[in-house]
Structure 1
Amino acid sequence: MQKNFRNPTLTRRQKRSRRGLTGKPASNTQDKAPHNKSRLFIAWGVLIAAGLGLAINLYYLQIVRGPKLTQRARNQQMVNLRPFMPRRPVVDRSNNVLAIDRPMYTLYAHPKLFNKSNEEIAQRLAPIINKDAAELLKTFQSKKSGITLAPALPEEIIDRITSLNLNGLELIQKYSRFYPPDDLVADVVGYVNIDRRGQAGVEYSQEKLLERSVQTVRLSRSGNGSFMPDHAPEGFLHFDDLRLQLTIDSRLQRAARNALKQQMEKFGAQRGAVIVMDASDGSLLALVSQPTYNPNKYSTSDISLFKNWTVADLYEPGSTFKPLNVAIALENGVIKPDDTFNDPGFIRVADRTIKNALNNSYGRINIAQILQHSSNIGMVQIIQRLQPSAYYNWLERLGLGQKVDTDLPFEVSGRLKSQEQFIASPIEPATTSFGQGLSLTPLQLVQMHGALANGGKLVTPHVVRGLIDSKGQMHYSPNRTTPRQIFSATTANTVVEMMESVVTEGSGKPSQIPGYRIAGKTGTAQKASPSGGYISGARITSFVAILPVESPRYVVLALVDEPKGENAYGSTVAAPIVKSVMETLIPIEQIPPSQTGNGD
């Protein structure tokens, strides 16, 4: 029996044949090759195109836009910084601090960050910041964050707060201008506002000297935004130790203020002022005005007080102007020191009758007695010897109608009638002879009397001495107008000696100080009305003194506006103030006693 065997080869072919019959193509290596090559070319093309695009983009970024992008990167990494520079301090002539920048802190609370209960923190914090604990608790409960507890706290308070070790309290440092003497020198120093700009006094007029120069610097920042001090310019945070020194003496300023306030309260006066000037150079040793304000609390003060009225307001000087008229007449040679005049108590000038203040008549009197008795009639007769045009020219030489050009701000010019008006009306020279019909500032009157005290020179009153360092060395001193010689030394000394008789024998007796020769002149002037004429019953009392007579140097003026009472005169209101101020001035300036003094 013959067996059938399967042919394995045939079977595989048959299988392949069968697979072929199904319609599915058999794999063919030769058919796949073109497809693989195409894919490879496409892949390489994409890679080459991407590389080329990347190269073009790199070229564009690094070569074409490179400089701009570099600058932008630097701008992001660098910051312009203008460091805070405190204003220079202001000191008096003895280096007592009158104004200084000091660090202050604003205290914020964030109750959501408290590590203790609201009640406990309120109880511990309230007495330090001077607040009620219950009110503080309500404040904490009203808001979760960003509560302002105190806008300006000094460092000593901050030390107490930080010692509590409480979470949730934030302190932001700032600088604030501080005035240690409070209101003592406010009319001279002034104040700065919240924007740190001077608004009055030397804080305003000397802004350029008080502000330190600040350079803007560029600092680099790290990736987290913090500054990199290694790249900071060397010494960019250093600043000078210069301070603005004034000519004011705080001891004398305090004595003048106390004396002025006492008399103002006694006579119910509206306002008053005291000025002390060293006539040798015009430096002001004291300048007091009442009422005044506290520059540490300027926002609660009357804004009318920010302008110092001794330089910003005009008034008619009255009889305190008479010694200057005597000097003009002497300098022109129309009178001699021993001339006499008849004072019947009145005089007719054009259609007007002029009388003495108290309707007194003094008969035959010399020039010194005209000043002693403050005779209006005698003064009119003296000035009538001068040609009106010559007299007017002398008033202009004295500076009437002009500014003093002081370093205090808001100064106004004095007022003098036009030359045509003055010459055309005989009444104008007559009233000017006893200090009416013209107006000036109190500071200008002190300047004019300074010309009598220093041998005839018109100096510039000033309060700024200059910039000094911590060792007292002067680094800058302002340029001032060269003093003008107005009167001869002989004329000036003659008038001062005549004024001495006012203190020894006349209305200035209340200013006498035993052992010292003092010259002076009282003034009790009607108060001019802004609408013309004079305010009924209103007067300005004043007294001006020069000392020591044997070597004149210091001028002291006291002025009291609208004192009340029948006995309110220059001799009773202002002269005692000047005496008190001189009693303080003498030991401060070490003025030796005269060989023959008033009151001996």
Structure 2
Amino acid sequence: MNNSQKRRLALVIAAMALVTLIILGRLVEFQIIQGPEWADRAINELLVVAKPSRGAIYDRNGAILAANTADYQISVSPPLVTEPEEAATALASVLDMPRYEILSIFNSDQPFSLLSGRVSPEVADLVREMDYDGLQIDPLPRRFYPQGELLCHTLGYVDFNGYGGGGVEGYYQLDLAGEAASKTINISPLNEQESVIAREGADLVLTIDRTVQYITEEKLRQALQEYGAQSGSIIVMNPKTGAILAAAAYPCYDPFEFYEADETVLFNPITQQQHEPGSVMKLVTMAAALDSGLFTPQSTYYDAGVLEVGGHKTVNWDRSAPGTTDMTTLLARSLNVGAATLSTTMGPDLYYEYMQKFGFGRPTNVDVMGEATGQMPLPGSEYWTESMLATNAYGQSIAVTPLQMITAASAIPNNGEIMQPYLVQEIHRGDDVIVHEPSVLSRPISPETAQEVNTMAVTAVAREVPNAQIPGYTIAGKTGTAEIAENGVYIDDTIASFIGWLPADDPEIMIYVKLDKPQTQPWGSLTAAPTFANLAKELVVLLDI
């Protein structure tokens, strides 16, 4: 080893010695000088986690729709169990568990073990009364819905991990759930105690009126039973604001026991079920045709009873050929050939420009979790065919959700403006209140056109839909009877619908009734229209209209 190597070795040894001295010094400092302080910290410092309570949900009048409760979890520390045989016998029937399984847990070497998952408060009380050593009962937060199945799809549910599924529970998850807080604090009595405060969940006030919702659901159930329909939905909206007063759909489920419901029932028909709307679409087609300037309420066309477009022959529902026909008669008699004449005269570019203004083919962006876009193939798309220009005009070969349909048609009773539909009126965060301000979603037609179609819709109901009329009130609206396609083939079953508003000269409510596969009668005029009238008769009294 030469002198250079010796010098390098000496430097390495010196550096290692210095590092060793530093480490030893720090150990002495931590263990001897600061030892009591660190020991005190280990005893007195504690990680504190503050968990927020989920916000409540109320109807527009303050009735509670969703609140918080708890299930319970039963755990055990086997070494602390002093009477395992007796305790296992007593717990077996209460927890609905085999005695040998409980006894096996009691005799295990585990310091702590879960004995039972979620149990009801009643079961927890029975276990608490037994007062056996080693048992531990811990609350598990759970959502509670005091109105039962009422408003199930709109509210949604909350799973056992605290996450909203569907409805406003899902859409407003971040607002409702709040935010937990955590901090390591010194709990020594010699120190000032610090607070750890979570951001509590916000409360929601809905536009829904619980009583209106209850009546709407009852009328829907009665209609399904009376007409033998498989399922259905009803929406009640204020067309001037977009506020949804009721949204009923059947079949429903109990949000408190969401885990027992079939997955298909958790699906929200109001915003996710797409269907061909049928003749209620003629309101929109008429509005677009008049607003385009190509037609006026006094215009006529010749109805030969058949119109061929793109190889598809459109015929009237009653196979009639009324000849020269005016616009009001077209709407009142719900003539398919007339609607197709309007759309084909407008041409694909202009017609679909209006259809997009009315919001078809895209979601309304209502504040619930999960909304379908609808289906409206446009010219140039591989899914669009020329025949659709005719069939779309009377609500076939196009798919909408119930909410899309009532939202689009709401331009007529609201002077040509479509308001943004919404379900939450207020968000309460502590002392702060955020109030929803109604906003315009689009203006597809002029106020003049809206008034013209409104007048025609009044005449249509007065002439052809006696089952939708209410004594003392002027009703505007339109029936719909849509064929149902399965695997690309139209079957005999129908979707019967009616959309109407009142009072027609200054509308306060708008109602869309949709009945799926009615068996007693296929026609909307004989099923959905009387359902509308039965509901509206009660709402005008309840809402003082």
Q: Where on the TM-score scale, by shorter chain, does this alignment land: which range?
A: 0.7 to 0.9
User: Who wins on radius of gyration, i.e. which is larger?
Assistant: 1
The alpha carbon displacement at 1:426 in A equals 4.7
The alpha carbon displacement at 1:167 in A equals 6.8
Separation in 2, partners of 1:512, 1:216: 61
Q: Which amino acid aligns with 2:500?
A: A
Deviation larger for 160-169 or 298-307: 160-169
1:556 aligns with 2:522: no
Match of 1:582 in 2: 536
Separation in 1, partners of 2:421, 2:402: 11
Gaps of 5+ in 1: 1-55, 223-227, 592-600
Would the aligned equivalents of 1:455 and 1:493 in 2 still touch at CA under 8 Å? Answer: yes
Separation in 2, partners of 1:300, 1:181: 18
Would the aligned equivalents of 2:87 and 2:132 in 1 still touch at CA under 8 Å? Answer: no
Choose the corresponding residue for 2:186, options 198, 215, 220: 220
Would the aligned equivalents of 2:177 and 2:200 in 1 still touch at CA under 8 Å? Answer: no
Deviations along 1:150-194, whole A, 9 cap, x unmatched? 83323x776677677777764322221111112111101111111
Deviation larger for 64-73 or 185-194: 64-73
Deviation larger for 573-582 or 399-408: 573-582
Q: 1:331 to 1:490 in 2, by over 3 A?
A: same
The alpha carbon displacement at 1:195 in A equals 1.0
Separation in 2, partners of 1:538, 1:435: 16
- Where in structure 2 are the equivalents of 1:385-464 lying within 5 Å? 385-420=345-380, 426-464=386-424
> Partner of 1:483: helix, strand, or coil?
strand
Q: 1:151 to 1:392 in 2, by over 3 A?
A: closer
Match of 2:460 in 1: 502
Match of 1:183 in 2: 149
Choose the corresponding residue for 1:336, options 296, 317, 321: 296
Cα-Cα RMSD: 3.7
The alpha carbon displacement at 1:570 in A equals 0.9
Q: 1:587 to 1:139 in 2, by over 3 A?
A: farther
The alpha carbon displacement at 1:358 in A equals 2.4
Separation in 2, partners of 1:326, 1:338: 12
Q: 1:66 to 1:147 in 2, by over 3 A?
A: closer
Deviation larger for 385-394 or 517-526: 385-394
Would the aligned equivalents of 2:328 and 2:459 in 1 still touch at CA under 8 Å? Answer: yes
The alpha carbon displacement at 1:116 in A equals 12
The alpha carbon displacement at 1:422 in A equals 10
Deviations along 1:296-348, whole A, 9 cap, x unmatched? 11111111222212212322111001011111111111122123333332233
Separation in 2, partners of 1:112, 1:335: 87
Would the aligned equivalents of 1:546 and 1:552 in 2 still touch at CA under 8 Å? Answer: yes
Match of 2:526 in 1: 572
> Partner of 1:451: helix, strand, or coil?
coil
Separation in 1, partners of 2:143, 2:381: 50
> Partner of 1:419: helix, strand, or coil?
coil
Deviations along 1:104-138, whole A, 9 cap, x unmatched? 3335689955699679968xx97xx6x89xx8988
Q: Which amino acid aligns with 1:278?
A: N
Q: 1:348 to 1:238 in 2, by over 3 A?
A: closer
The alpha carbon displacement at 1:85 in A equals 1.4
Q: 1:422 to 1:162 in 2, by over 3 A?
A: closer
Would the aligned equivalents of 2:177 and 2:202 in 1 still touch at CA under 8 Å? Answer: no
Separation in 1, partners of 2:33, 2:491: 84
The alpha carbon displacement at 1:568 in A equals 2.1
1:205 aligns with 2:171: yes
Separation in 2, partners of 1:60, 1:208: 47
Output the TM-score relative to the length of structure 1: 0.76
Q: 1:238 to 1:196 in 2, by over 3 A?
A: closer
Gaps of 5+ in 2: 1-22, 108-112
Choose the corresponding residue for 1:233, options 194, 197, 200: 194
Would the aligned equivalents of 1:346 and 1:355 in 2 still touch at CA under 8 Å? Answer: yes
The alpha carbon displacement at 1:239 in A equals 6.0
Percentage of matched positions with identical amino acids = 25
Deviations along 1:73-104, whole A, 9 cap, x unmatched? 64664232222211111111112111111233
The size of the alignment, in residue pairs, is 518
Q: 1:115 to 1:438 in 2, by over 3 A?
A: closer
Choose the corresponding residue for 2:480, options 494, 513, 523: 523
Would the aligned equivalents of 2:476 and 2:500 in 1 still touch at CA under 8 Å? Answer: yes
